[in-house]
Structure 1
Amino acid sequence: MALFDLPLPELERYLPELDEPADLDEFWAATLAETRAFDLDVRRAPHDSPLTLVDVEDLTFAGFGGHPIKAWVTRPAGSATDGSSLPAVVEFLGYGGGRGRPLERLAWAAAGYVHLLMDTRGQGSHWGSGGDTADPAPGSGPQVSGFLTRGILDPAEHFYRRVFTDGVRAVEAVRALPGVDPARVAVTGGSQGGGMTLAVAGLVPDLAAVMPDVPFLCHVPRAIAITDAEPYHEVVRYLSVNRERKAAVMRTLSYLDGVHLARRATAPTLFSVALRDPICPPSTVFAAYNHYGALADQRPDRAIEVYEFNEHEGGGGFQLDAQLRWLAGVLAR
């Protein structure tokens, strides 16, 4: 993929005007209050694992609507009962993937963190090793195949209202676990997981750190204008048939846009962006990065890793190494 978006100097200054709904904060406050009426209901079950240096638990907690959400929790062996108070990292997954097998993601536990990997409701069969969480409350109305147009005519019905709320509850669940320092919880994820990371950063005011990689669901109006790649193209296909519904569609997506939620974040952040990424175009990522924390009483520290020659894979292992080093520094401060 050739370079197709703005030049890097323009990206670094890119600060688009936003069409943020006036009742965004009220919408999300009501959503979270509705969900918190349900008990968090954290259930832990040991997982029979051949691993000896980490402990693995099969975790279930109540997400949006009280629906059961699955997660893997991995941590240094014995740390749940030895009096440790470890920092935690909550990780969200990319579009269509599920939590897979716990031995597939060991870096955070190996680095001394409690790691919660949240399954994404209704997903898990597009790539990877599968998922285990149903979505018992699908949005109403016709949709394009995929998830981006599920409940697209009403923000209260949209798939990502449920998923973002699940992400907030995942932070609450990890804070309820033994051996976790609730003041040192970070969130991370790539692509869809990066968009979820930004949403949770805007909805949880006391995170220690935020690490979105090549995030999806940012500056959605521009994304659907400049890329033909999925998943954004799901919206284009929907509107190519439902021409009269553009206003309703864009209104719904404005409640879910990572740029709008990122403005409310308060924790330090490390982003990544790939300049040849056709799935999450660079300008959409920089829109979120440049607006990040703008509404905070004190603007949080920001940093971004730029991968000039990469597409949606971004930095891969290089970015994970950067995250491990960056987060250790943040927590040391």
Structure 2
Amino acid sequence: MPAFDLPPPELEHYRPPLDEPAGFDAFWRDTLKEAEQAEPLVSVRAVETGLRLTRTWDVTFRGFAGDPVRAWFSRPADTPEPLPAVVEFAGYGRGRGLPHERLTWVNAGYAHLLMDNRGQGDQYGSGGATPDPHAHAPGGPGPAVRGLLAPHDHHYRRLITDAVRAVTAVRALPGVDPARTVAVGNSQGGGLALAVAGLVPDLAAALVTAPLLCGIRRALDLTDQGPYGEIAAYLSVHRGAETAAYHTLAHLEGVSFARRAQAPAHFGVGLRDTVCPPSGAYAAFNRYAELTGTAPRKVLHAYPFNGHEGGDAVHVRRQLDWLADVLGVSRGPA
């Protein structure tokens, strides 16, 4: 697929106006206030993984409405000192899988919490373990359209709240330095990491790659792939529901979260990405922290000939180097 979005010189300065609802901040303040009533941790159980150099726990924490959310918590074996924590969010349709699947951050010396996606996990990967008991509002079968007609009903209101609560949960776990907590994700996970950056003011860093939910209205005009295609398909059947749907999606817009962020940020984007069009990532990057009166360190790596995979392993290495520098941690032996 050739490049299909704006030319790179335009992307580098792309700052689109926002149709941001007046009640955006109150909506999220009230949502999180309700979730914060419960203690974060429900259970922490050590599990055997067959890995000698990594220790792993099956964690259950309380997310939206106090619902139990599952996660894998791992850290390098024989490292008793408090470690910076990376909270990772998985992609669309994926669950937390098996505990030995994602070891990069643990091998780099971090504590690592991988959050399960409620009501997802059946499209690819190795499954999930967190149901969504609230998925009963009008909308289609996919997460992107569950509860599409009202902000309070939408799946992502619950999932974003879970993501914020995951940060609270990891900070309550032993062996974690709560002042050095980082949000990481690709695609849907990138959108969640960006939302966390906008909702958790003392986050240490955010690593956001090919983020979903950024520039939503433009993405719906550009692509029928992935989650945006599910929204378009729903609206093709429910003609006249556009106004309600756009109102809901405006409460989930990643660029609005980016404007409220303060943490240092590392972005990645493939310029041929037809799943999450690059203009959304650039809009979030260019307007990042503009409402906070801060100027956090930020960088964006663009991959002109890549699609949704972006820079893949090359980009991960850049993430590792950047985060080690931001947090002041050792990069290991040369």
Matches within 5 A, 1:74-85: 74-79=74-79, 82=80, 84-85=81-82
Separation in structure 2 between the aligned mates of residue 189 and residue 42 of structure 1, nearest angstrom: 24
Deviation at 1:193? 0.2
Q: What SS does structure 2 have at the residue aligned with 1:181?
A: strand
Deviation at 1:42? 3.7
Alpha-carbon contact 1:139-1:158 (below 8 Å) kept: no
Q: Choose from 88, 91, 95 the match for 1:94.
A: 91
Q: Choose from 288, 295, 300 the match for 1:292.
A: 288
Residue in 1 that maps onto 2:190: 194
Question: Which one-letter code corresponds to 2:278 in the other structure?
Answer: P
- Whether 1:59 aligns to 2:59 is yes
Aligned length: 329
Residue in 2 that maps onto 1:162: 158
Separation in structure 1 between the aligned mates of residue 317 and residue 190 of structure 2, nearest angstrom: 17
Deviation at 1:299? 2.1
- Whether 1:219 aligns to 2:215 is yes
Residue in 2 that maps onto 1:282: 278
Q: What SS does structure 1 have at the residue aligned with 2:241?
A: helix
Separation in structure 2 between the aligned mates of residue 139 and residue 19 of structure 1, nearest angstrom: 27
Separation in structure 2 between the aligned mates of residue 189 and residue 46 of structure 1, nearest angstrom: 25
Alpha-carbon contact 1:139-1:151 (below 8 Å) kept: yes
Residue in 2 that maps onto 1:131: 128
Question: Which one-letter code corresponds to 1:76 in the other structure?
Answer: P
Deviation at 1:78? 3.0
Deviation at 1:139? 4.2
- Whether 1:243 aligns to 2:239 is yes
1:199-258 deviation digits (Å, cap 9, x = unpaired): 111000001100011000101000000112121011111111222221111000000010
- Whether 1:115 aligns to 2:115 is no
The TM-score, its normalising length taken from structure 1, stands at 0.97
Alpha-carbon contact 1:144-1:237 (below 8 Å) kept: no
Residue in 1 that maps onto 2:332: none
Separation in structure 2 between the aligned mates of residue 118 and residue 313 of structure 1, nearest angstrom: 21
- Whether 1:5 aligns to 2:8 is no
Residue in 1 that maps onto 2:312: 316
Separation in structure 2 between the aligned mates of residue 75 and residue 232 of structure 1, nearest angstrom: 35
Alpha-carbon contact 2:5-2:277 (below 8 Å) kept: yes
Deviation at 1:29? 0.4
Residue in 1 that maps onto 2:226: 230
Deviation larger for 100-109 or 37-46: 37-46
1:45-84 deviation digits (Å, cap 9, x = unpaired): 01111101110111110000111100001101133xx3x1
Separation in structure 2 between the aligned mates of residue 124 and residue 3 of structure 1, nearest angstrom: 31
Question: Which one-letter code corresponds to 1:91 in the other structure?
Answer: E
Q: Report percent identity of matched pairs.
A: 53
- Give structure 2 stretches of 5+ with no counterpart: 330-334
Deviation at 1:41? 2.8
Q: Choose from 251, 254, 259 the match for 2:255.
A: 259
Alpha-carbon contact 1:61-1:173 (below 8 Å) kept: yes
Question: Which one-letter code corresponds to 1:90 in the other structure?
Answer: V
Separation in structure 1 between the aligned mates of residue 205 and residue 23 of structure 2, nearest angstrom: 27
Separation in structure 1 between the aligned mates of residue 295 and residue 141 of structure 2, nearest angstrom: 39
4+ residue runs of structure 1 moved beyond 4 angstroms?
A: none
- Whether 1:182 aligns to 2:182 is no
Deviation at 1:145? 3.0
Q: Choose from 100, 103, 108 the match for 1:103.
A: 100
Deviation at 1:291? 1.0
- Whether 1:31 aligns to 2:28 is no
Cα RMSD of the aligned pairs, angstroms, is: 1.0
Separation in structure 1 between the aligned mates of residue 307 and residue 69 of structure 2, nearest angstrom: 31
